[in-house]
Each structure stands twice: as structure tokens, then as C-alpha cells.
Structure 1
Amino acid sequence: MNNKITIRKGQLGLLAKQGDFYQVLEAGEHRLPWFNKPDVTVVDVNGDDVAPELADYLRRFQPEWVEKYCLSVDTAEQETAALYRNGVLLEIIPPGARRLFWRDGDSLQVKRMSTQDVHVPIDVMNAVLQPRGRNEAVKGREAILTVQVPAWHVGVLKIDGETQALLPPGLSAYWKINHLVEAEVVDTRLQALEVSGQEILTKDKVNLRINLGANWRYLDVLQAYSQLAKPLDYLYRELQFALREAVGTRTLDELLENKQVIDDVVSAQVIARMAPFGIEVASTGVKDIVLPGDMKTILSRLVEAEKSAQANVIRRREETAATRSLLNTAKVMENNPVALRLKELETLERVAERIDKISVFGGLDQVLHGLVNIKGKTNAA
């Protein structure tokens, strides 16, 4: 008696007895014996991986099946492969891999690439970066380092510890397999660096809190990165050292009298130290100087006392000038009756400005004589 089994299109049936595969059933209807019935393993021929245990068995005992029904992708130690299905990149297969895939007609293609050339082919890079669905990212894409350099930037590329030529703006990709690849994007425009919260003792032991700003740019990026592991960190430390030297060697009074001295000292020192590394420091400036609370009170009292003393000096100077002017006027009137007469008329004019109506009897001399008598009586009282 026989038993029937149907293998659909896109499938294969693998017959086995006692764990050994001995026949492949292609699409169609097949009869199996009732007695001593074989085990049937049905697999989908859709371009997916062959299970690892089955792949090892087929490679070893059924190589002709592998040739007919499978796509074998074996990569060397310095080789990688790009697996495509219907022209769409599915996976980057790493070096030293042994993979089997069920053939689905001619839908699968393989592109082999040597990793001795660290540059990833442009078509593979574009396929890896092509936008896809959430669960459709290219497998093995972590083997590729992509570097995107924006405008006004350059890329510093290191391969196996050796700095390469600068990367221009654009997109490039490199194999991380068999290579140590590092890339850093560097802005070549003028940049600002803040050195904040620096607490420094002056020469006379006053603790100041200073915030400093600097504007800088790369003049030679390769020169900077060939000598300094982290150029920005080095510049930050040099600004700290220069600021401490400028403040720590001067008293508080010197700094308050000439605040520009900090900018001048820091700028000159940092420019000289950074020039050999291809870094230009365009300008530096102290944003603010924060004094301790008790020192603020002392300085406020000092400023108040200085301003009060200046006001007293000005007041005494004005009083002296006024007295000297009166003395000069008295000397002129003593030797000049006409000037005395004019002074009397001026006094009368000021008195008349305060009176709405006045009657004069006996002439102007009589009025002036009466005015003198009134002043005399008032003084006596």
C-alpha cells in the first residue's frame, strides 16, 4: 500500500531514514510506502538560510544537492559579500563565513568584495543607507562606518591608527572589518569656547571667580590632530593656565585698576602656545569677575569713602573760589566809586524784583540811603 504527499511550488521535500537524507522531492504529488515509511522534511525554497545543522550535513554528504538547490556563500578572511534578492541588498556577510541559502530561481545574487581596500563601494554604501521599513534594515550593516561631512567642515579619518587625508564635505563609507577605523568631523569656522567658574587667588590672597571667553578656529586641521589627541581639551587647559598666571601674579587693586591686563596677558600667552599646533585664537575676554561677599562690602565702603572725600574737596574748592571772587570784587569797589555805584544799582534791582509797587520820594540817593539804614538796623537786631 502507498501513501501520497503533495509538495507545493516553492517547496522541497527531503526524505530521510534513520536520520539520513537520501532523496529530494520537488513540487508535485508523490507516493510514499506505507511500510518502512521515511521521514519527510518540507522546506520553503524562498531565499532564506538553510538551517546550520542541515547545511553542514548537505555540504558533507549531499554536495550535488547543494549545487542544484542552494546558493553557497563562503567568504575568506579578507573578504566580505553583499547578498541581494531581486536587486535589493539584504545582508552584508562578514569574512570567514560559511552560509547556505535555498535558491529561489535567480532571485539571489552575491557580490564579493575585498576588505583590504577599506573603502566601501559606492553602490553598497547607497544601498545600506537607503531608507527602509522599521524591520527591514540591512543585516550586518554595523560592519560599515559611514561618515557624513557637512559644508564648512572636514573629516579627520584614522585607519589603523594612521591619519589619512582630510575628507571633504560629502558622504563616504569604510569597512570596520579587519581595520580599526575612526572618523571625526571638524568645524573649520570661527568657534566660541567658554572657560567658566575659575576660582583663582590673587597675589594678595583674594579669591576671585572669573568667567573667560575665547574665539578660535583651526588653521591647519591635520597639524592639530597629528600632534594633539584632543585639540579642544588642550586649548581649554591652556586658557586656564594663562588665566591663573595673569590673575595669580597681580593684586586685586592692580586688576581693578586695569581689567584689560587679564585679556592682554591671556591672549598673548595662548596665541603663542597654540600657533605651533595649527590653531588660531582670534580673541579672548573676561566676561565677568565675581568677588566674595565680604569683599564686596569692603569695596563698597571704600568707594563710598573715596566719593565722599572727592565731594568734600570739590565743595572746599568752590567755597575758596567764591571767597576769592568776593575779595576781588571788594578791592575793585574800594578804589572805584563808579563800580561801587553799579553794585548798589544791581542790589536795588534785585530788591525791586521782589516788590510789586514802590514809591520813591526825595530821589534815588534818598532811597539808597534808606536801604542802607534798613540793612544796618537789621544787622544790629
Structure 2
Amino acid sequence: MLKRFVVKKDERGALLREADFERILKSGRYRFFDPFGRLSLVTWKADAPMTDLGIVDYLLQHEPAVAAEHFERMELTEDQAGLRYENDVLVEILPPAARRFVWKGVVRHRLETVDLRAGYAVAPEVAAHLVQPALRGRAVMGLGYLLLAQVPAYHVGVLKVDGKVQRLMPAGVEGFWRFNRDIQVELVDTRLQNMEVSGQEILSRDKVGLRLNLAATWRYTDVLLAYEKLSKPADHLYRELQFGLRAAVGTRAIDELLENKQTIDEVVGDYVARKLDGFGIEVSSVGVKDIVLPGEMKNILAQVVEAEKSAEANVIRRREETAATRSLLNTAKVMEDNPTALRLKELETLERVAERIDRISVFGGLDQVLSGLVSIKNA
């Protein structure tokens, strides 16, 4: 005939009669006369928010004193956000129009409200505590309602609200409320950066297909100006480098391009500097890394180079032969006018002959040998 119920010390309960709310039960042991088995008990953890808001709304409407005795009331308007603390530790971020009812007497509860009409920036101390949520001893619910942006050194952050650039963010941590607005932060490196424009296939003026690879070094001179005028400054720079390369290669013959690649660098650099003037971007250097020729053009150029070098070799050979002949002619004139020089030449010739003979037998003296040599030459 009696039904016994137990509510633990860390719980709160509600007595139901035929599944309808009867009254709130604090922790303890209860006995009720229930001959027909109509009573039942529902319990909740006392250190967690009340999940059955139907019972809370009933108490607020019909028994407000009971609701005030058992619950801490937390309600936000459409223009407010909330920070819910338990024992002075942030545990939850509440969105606008949120409702929380927590049990009194177990945990100290506190709610801080934020007026969203006053701005979209989160208090710096709150952002600093939440920037590394994985390192906290207790997780924070509702982090998705915030945008936490950490800007590293040598970078700036471009803050965009509803698609419009608002300001630049210095290095550090900042947080923003996402409610009622679209907020984005884009990180920008302010140091010198490299950009590769690879695999550009372009026809030269004489209709030769070339593949070129270009490298450029650039940086932002005015980040805010660049993002005000261009949606994607880096993409815009890449396209201008492409156009500049085509303007440099398409108006020149292949011989001119191969003889002086620096011409391409100068033309592309001047073109890009002119196109990017007033956009907050500066190109420090531009250089062509490679010029790749088609296979058949490589063979043709190799044949041309071989023919040029062969012709140069023939010219040098003829020049040397002419010089040797002229030298012989001068020597002959000297010998004709000077018998002593002729005699010295004869001795030189004899010396060359003697170098190739192991043994020489001379009869009649050296003069006779020389006379014989002269006779042989005349014959």
C-alpha cells in the first residue's frame, strides 16, 4: 500500500501522479500511500541544467514561488548572448533567446550577458581563455557561436563582416560573435613571398611553341588597399604575370628570346609594375627559370649550331693556311737575297734528316753531302 522513493544527494526529483506533475522532491527518502500504483518518480542531476522545460514553465505560471525556490533562472533576449559560469568557471556560451534553468544549492551559477547591438567583438580576456579549448580541464559548450582568430607574427588579419572589409588585425588573439552576421578573418603574410608561374605554353612571333617557367618575388605594401580593390590579390598577381609573360614572348622571335632571356624579365617586370600600380602590391623581382623547346625545334637548332661552328672552323683553318703560306713566301725571299740564310736552312734540313737516321757515313766531306742534297732537291 505504501510506495518508497529515494532521491540521491546529487539529484532532484519530481513526483508524478499518472504521469502528471505533482510536486518537486529534494534529496531524501519518501513514502507515499499508493494503493493503485499511480505514483512515479523522475530524477535529474542537480549539477546540470533542467532539461524538462515543460515542468519549469508550469511552475513559473502556476507556482512561481516554488520555481524561485528550486531554480536559477537564465533567459536571454534576441539581442543578447550569454556566458554561463559554474563555480566561476566558464562552461557554456548561450545564443540569443536561449533559456536555462539550473538547480539551486549544489553549484554556484552565474550568467554574464552581452549586448550584441554594441558590437561583435568578444572581450579580450574571454578570447584568451578560449583560444586553446583542448587544453582546458573542462570543455566549453557552444564554442561554435564564436570565431576565434589567432594572427601569428609577421602576419595581419583582414576582418570581413558581411563580406565587407572592416579593418586589419595585428598579431595576437581576437574573438568575434557570429550571431546575426557573417564574419571572416583572412590571414596575410606581410613578408616577401615567392610565386611560381609554371608550364606556360606560348607561341613566339615566328610561331614556335615554347614552354616557360617564371618566378617572381612580391609583397604587400598596403594590405587594406589590396583587399578593398581586389577580392583575391594573389590570384590577380598570378594572372598579371601570365599576361606579362605572353606579351613579352608573343611579340619576339625565338632567336631574340634565346639570345637574351633578360629581355623577358625586363618586359614582364615593367608590365606587372604598371598594371599593379595603386593596388597595394609590389613585385620585387621577376625571372625566367626555363625555356623549353619542342623536340623537333631542338634538333633544328642543334643542326644550325653545328653548321655555324663548322663554318667558323673552316674560316680559321683557311686563315691559318694563308698565314703559313705568307710566312713561307717571306722566308724564300730572305733566302734568295741572303746566301747565309739559305745555308742555315740547309743545315736545319740536314738536322731533321739526321734525326730519323741511326747512322750516317760521310765520304768526301760535309760540303759534298750538302751539294748532293741540293742536287736531289733540284731534281
Q: Distance in 1 between matches of 2:143 and 2:206?
A: 62
Q: Which runs of 5+ in 2 are unaligned?
A: none
Contact 2:127/2:173 (8 A) holds in 1: no
User: Amino acid of the residue matched to residue 5 of structure 2?
Assistant: I
User: Amino acid of the residue matched to residue 338 of structure 1?
Assistant: T
Query: 135-144 or 24-33: which moved more?
Result: 135-144
Following superposition, the deviation at residue 275 of structure 1 comes to: 2.8
Structure 2 residue aligned with 1:278? 280
**Residue deviations 1:118-144, cap 9 Å, x none?**
211123223323444799542211111
How does 1:97-116 map onto structure 2 within 5 Å? 97-115=98-116, 116=118
Q: Distance in 1 between matches of 2:103 and 2:172?
A: 39
Structure 2 residue aligned with 1:78? 79
How does 1:317-336 map onto structure 2 within 5 Å? 317-336=319-338
Structure 1 30/353 Cα, relative in aligned 2: closer, same or farther at 3 Å? Answer: same
User: Amino acid of the residue matched to residue 128 of structure 1?
Assistant: L
Contact 1:50/1:102 (8 A) holds in 2: no
Query: 274-283 or 18-27: which moved more?
Result: 18-27
Query: 106-115 or 267-276: which moved more?
Result: 106-115
2:175 corresponds to 1:170 = no
Contact 1:47/1:104 (8 A) holds in 2: no
2:314 corresponds to 1:312 = yes
Structure 1 329/97 Cα, relative in aligned 2: closer, same or farther at 3 Å? Answer: same
User: Amino acid of the residue matched to residue 254 of structure 2?
Assistant: L
The number of equivalent residue pairs is 377
**Residue deviations 1:274-333, cap 9 Å, x none?**
131111111111111111112112111111111111111111111111111111111121
Structure 1 363/78 Cα, relative in aligned 2: closer, same or farther at 3 Å? Answer: farther
Q: Distance in 2 between matches of 1:70 and 1:50?
A: 12
Query: 184-193 or 99-108: which moved more?
Result: 99-108
Structure 2 residue aligned with 1:65? 66
Following superposition, the deviation at residue 18 of structure 1 comes to: 4.5
Q: Distance in 2 between matches of 1:154 and 1:129?
A: 17
TM-score, with length taken from structure 2: 0.91
Contact 2:215/2:286 (8 A) holds in 1: yes
2:290 corresponds to 1:292 = no
Structure 1 74/23 Cα, relative in aligned 2: closer, same or farther at 3 Å? Answer: same
Q: Distance in 2 between matches of 1:364 and 1:63?
A: 152
User: Amino acid of the residue matched to residue 273 of structure 2?
Assistant: I
Following superposition, the deviation at residue 25 of structure 1 comes to: 2.1
Structure 2 residue aligned with 1:6? 6
Contact 1:15/1:38 (8 A) holds in 2: yes
Structure 1 18/3 Cα, relative in aligned 2: closer, same or farther at 3 Å? Answer: closer
Contact 1:89/1:127 (8 A) holds in 2: no
Structure 2 residue aligned with 1:21? 21
User: Amino acid of the residue matched to residue 325 of structure 1?
Assistant: S
Q: Distance in 2 between matches of 1:227 and 1:215?
A: 21
Structure 1 residue aligned with 2:55? 54
Following superposition, the deviation at residue 12 of structure 1 comes to: 2.4
Q: Distance in 2 between matches of 1:158 and 1:131?
A: 24
Contact 1:47/1:103 (8 A) holds in 2: no
Following superposition, the deviation at residue 146 of structure 1 comes to: 1.4
